């Protein structure tokens, strides 16, 4: 995934649009029939700091025919108090096995012809529901669409921009190449997808969306909409904060299902590329451990890097890293003083 920073693309500060109003939901019934029902599913767990912005971003779309389903995992913060304020919501609060199960619970409750999935700390940009209805088209074969996302921090200040990109299904399978970007909250699809693809794999906790996009890509094309659809929030409690090292194992597990026959050369090529990606990832993590002066963790990560791809042992950067692990960072810096 390639996310642009503000240095690459200037964006304006994010400002929530207006205040919610029950009268927005009391439109003309005849008018509502002219707009397909859009179902938004939001999984939540102790996101009281952000979920109200999420709710308002859906409510303030000005679209006359939608339902917002929130599946809470038993929050102990002020989430429930916030949900009780908004009478248009369809919500439950009960323990679950994780985000994938919560989303599936929501998916099964949807009645809409168009489905969206918006995590509790994310929001929609204004007026995107009208764009979604315009872009999706069964006659044109547009069953799944996605777009761009603005990126904000915990205070709502914009810090970057994620531009959607999806060349073809083969690129999606090769997660190590990063030649695709499908910002999850920007995706909308017809409910036909449920009939052909089913629901999320509840055994996955980090790569459930990646797995779902791969499964969808075998049946439908992803159609790109060149505009910001949603706003992704990055904060200390975000699930993505642990970084790629947490996700990599599930990416590997999901991707290898599409590598072909055990007797094909392409399968072993994919395996080599995936392990090389893991090796480089462990090497980068090892460097971060050195910067934190954690020599034990550094040596552990470097060992994992070598085991993942022994070929990297002969690369200068990794060899230098091994010396740092053996001698320690202090001695390496002293040796550098005597080198030309």
pLDDT along the chain (340 residues), means of 10: 44 40 50 83 94 96 96 95 96 94 97 96 96 96 96 91 84 77 95 94 93 94 96 75 68 88 83 77 62 60 62 56 53 47
pTM here is 0.78
Predicted local confidence at residue 2, as pLDDT? 44
Q: In this structure, are strands 123-124 and 66-72 parallel, antiparallel, or unpaired?
A: unpaired
Q: In this structure, is the dihedral angle defined by the CA atoms of residues 38, 43, 44 and 49, taken in order, positive or negative?
A: negative
CA pair distance 131, 123, nearest whole angstrom: 16
Predicted local confidence at residue 164, as pLDDT? 92
CA pair distance 335, 132, nearest whole angstrom: 60
CA pair distance 313, 211, nearest whole angstrom: 32
Q: Specify the residue for token string 């997808």.
A: 193
Please state the φ and ψ torsions of residue 114, each to the nearest 5 degrees.
Answer: -120, 135
CATH architecture of 3-239: Alpha-Beta Complex (3.90)
Q: What is the DSSP string of 13-49?
A: PP---S---GGGG---HHHHHTS--EEEEEEESS-TT
CA pair distance 188, 136, nearest whole angstrom: 8
Q: Specify the residue for token string 């996101």.
A: 47
Predicted local confidence at residue 73, as pLDDT? 95
Predicted local confidence at residue 9, as pLDDT? 42
- Scanning the chain, the segments in alpha helix (DSSP H) are 29-33, 51-59, 79-85, 99-109, 128-135, 169-173, 192-197, 208-217, 244-255, 265-291, 295-308, 316-327, 329-336
CA pair distance 309, 278, nearest whole angstrom: 8
What residue spans define the domains of the chain? 3-239, 259-336
């Amino acid at each position: 995934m390639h996310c642009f920073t503000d240095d690459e693309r200037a964006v304006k500060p994010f400002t929530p649009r207006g205040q919610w109003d029950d009268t927005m939901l009391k439109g003309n019934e005849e008018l509502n029939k002219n707009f397909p029902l859009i179902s938004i599913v939001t999984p939540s767990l102790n996101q009281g700091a952000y979920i109200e912005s999420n709710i308002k971003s859906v409510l303030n779309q000005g679209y006359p025919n939608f339902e917002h389903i929130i599946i809470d995992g038993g929050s102990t913060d002020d989430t429930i108090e916030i949900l009780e304020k908004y009478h248009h919501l369809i919500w439950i609060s009960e323990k679950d096995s994780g985000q994938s199960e919560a989303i599936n619970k929501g998916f099964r409750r949807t009645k809409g012809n168009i489905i969206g999935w918006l995590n509790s700390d994310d929001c929609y940009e204004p007026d995107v529901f009208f764009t979604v209805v315009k872009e999706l088209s069964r006659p044109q074969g547009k069953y799944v669409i996605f777009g761009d996302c603005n990126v904000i921090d915990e205070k709502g200040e914009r810090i970057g921009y994620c531009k959607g990109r999806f060349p073809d299904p083969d690129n999606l399978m090769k997660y190590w190449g990063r030649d695709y970007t499908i910002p999850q909250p920007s995706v909308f699809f017809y409910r036909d997808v449920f009939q052909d693809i089913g629901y999320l794999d509840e055994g996955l906790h980090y790569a459930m969306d990646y797995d779902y996009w791969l499964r969808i890509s075998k049946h439908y094309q992803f159609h790109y909409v060149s505009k910001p659809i949603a706003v992704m929030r990055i904060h200390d409690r975000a699930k993505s904060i642990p970084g790629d090292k947490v996700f990599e194992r599930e990416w590997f597990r999901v991707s290898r299902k599409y590598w072909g026959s055990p007797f094909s050369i392409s399968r072993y090529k994919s395996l080599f590329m995936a392990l090389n990606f893991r090796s480089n990832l462990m090497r980068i993590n090892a460097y971060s451990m050195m910067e934190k002066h954690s020599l034990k963790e550094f040596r552990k990560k470097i060992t994992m890097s070598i085991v993942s791809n022994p070929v990297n042992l002969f690369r200068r950067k990794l060899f230098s890293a091994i010396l740092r692990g053996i001698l320690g960072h202090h001695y390496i810096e002293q040796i550098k003083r005597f080198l030309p």
